[in-house]
Amino acid sequence: LQLAQQKTESGVESSLVTRLVESIRVRHPRSLAGVLEAQAVNPARFDAYANMLLHWALCAFGEGTIERMADAFVRFSSDVNFAQARYEAAGRYENKSYQECQDTVYCQKETMDDYLMGIYLTNFLWAHHMEISLFFEERFLTSLAPGSHIVEIASGHGGWGLWALHSVADARLDAFDISPAAVEMSSALAKAANLQDRANYALQDALAMDTRAVGPADACICGFLIEHLEKPDELMEVIGRLLRPRGVAFLTGALTAAQVDHIFEFRYESELVLLAEHHGLRVTDLRSVGPKRTLRGASFLPRSIALVLQKRTHETW
């Protein structure tokens, strides 16, 4: 780990990005156009995000990780594209229950390992997610004070929370996920990032926990959970309870964007805004982005939306 960190400081590991892009170029040429599109969003920040996340992954999981992740990313993206095509044909998401997703995806280690590794790279390899990452850095992370207590709900691979710890001095993180594979992966990445002393990962359904035992929190992060829920307002309610007055949250969701385990079909940006407002939160910033390239003849634009929320202290603010 020390050796790898030294390499990063000296700039030698800038080749990690090159290695990833080259792996996709050689092994998955059909996916290269999208990757180059993501890189073009902001080449300098693309390199910075990619190097940070790849460096942690390489330290955590060892040689061969870059190629394994590239494969997982392509499989995940392919699954998403096919789910979107089936959604276009049916006009609605596949009808699955949360319990079904939990049994067939979240609690299956092999499936989850691949799924999490694929998603981890979408943070910068999908152009519209690259824009969400820029928004996270510029509009959310910069608002956090040193020493902030952050709670991450459905931490998944752990990348968002670790990025926050990496960026905010002395911040500490309590993160929750229902998947054992997610807790294992995020814990390993925290150790690789040398952030394990400030990060605590628990196998716990954050929507069913006693929030008084965790909060009040200065900040909350919840990336792409809300569309996986049968009752998304329960998540907003928990975020509202977790935050201290004026505490802030970063929440992302998917709109008309199918995936094997997406259950709740949000169609409009305002649906999330209204949910947040209904639970004592004020939307202070919002970014909604869709991919530039879509399926031929698509009637839905698969968008990702990011909201910065603040817990209200008054009726309207």
Partner 1 sequence: MPEIMSALNAVFCEVFEDDGLSITRDTSAADIDGWDSLTHVTLILHVEKAFGVRFSSSEVSGLETAGDLEALIAARSAKD
Residue ranges binding partner 1 (CB under 8 A): 29-34, 74-75, 77-79, 81-85, 293-296
Taking the complex as a whole, how short is the minimal distance between the CB of residue 285 and partner 1, in angstroms? 30
Task: Compare residues 83 and 130 and give the one whose CB is closer to partner 1.
Answer: 83
- 257: tokens are 């964007």
The answer to whether 279 and 238 are in contact (CB under 8 A) is no
Helix-then-strand count for the chain, H and E = 12, 7
The answer to whether 309 and 246 are in contact (CB under 8 A) is no
Task: Compare residues 232 and 302 and give the one whose CB is closer to partner 1.
Answer: 302
Taking the complex as a whole, how short is the minimal distance between the CB of residue 75 and partner 1, in angstroms? 6
Enclosing H/E stretch for 219: strand 217-222
Task: Compare residues 278 and 293 and give the one whose CB is closer to partner 1.
Answer: 293
Taking the complex as a whole, how short is the minimal distance between the CB of residue 180 and partner 1, in angstroms? 23
The answer to whether 303 and 255 are in contact (CB under 8 A) is yes
- 20: tokens are 């990833």
Taking the complex as a whole, how short is the minimal distance between the CB of residue 16 and partner 1, in angstroms? 22
281-289, strands of its sheet edge to edge: 199-203, 172-177, 149-153, 217-222, 243-255, 303-311, 281-289
**Could you tell me the CA-to-CA distances from 242 to 216, 250, 252 in Å, in that order?**
5, 13, 17
Task: Compare residues 23 and 211 and give the one whose CB is closer to partner 1.
Answer: 23
- Name the nearest CA neighbour of 311 among 250, 254, 240, 252: 240
Task: Compare residues 55 and 128 and give the one whose CB is closer to partner 1.
Answer: 128
Taking the complex as a whole, how short is the minimal distance between the CB of residue 74 and partner 1, in angstroms? 7
Strand, coil or helix: 172? strand
Task: Compare residues 114 and 131 and give the one whose CB is closer to partner 1.
Answer: 114
Task: Compare residues 35 and 141 and give the one whose CB is closer to partner 1.
Answer: 35
Question: Cα Rg for the chain, rounded, in angstroms?
Answer: 19
Taking the complex as a whole, how short is the minimal distance between the CB of residue 50 and partner 1, in angstroms? 19
**Could you tell me the CA-to-CA distances from 65 to 22, 29, 36, 56, 104 in Å, in that order?**
14, 19, 21, 10, 25
Taking the complex as a whole, how short is the minimal distance between the CB of residue 90 and partner 1, in angstroms? 13
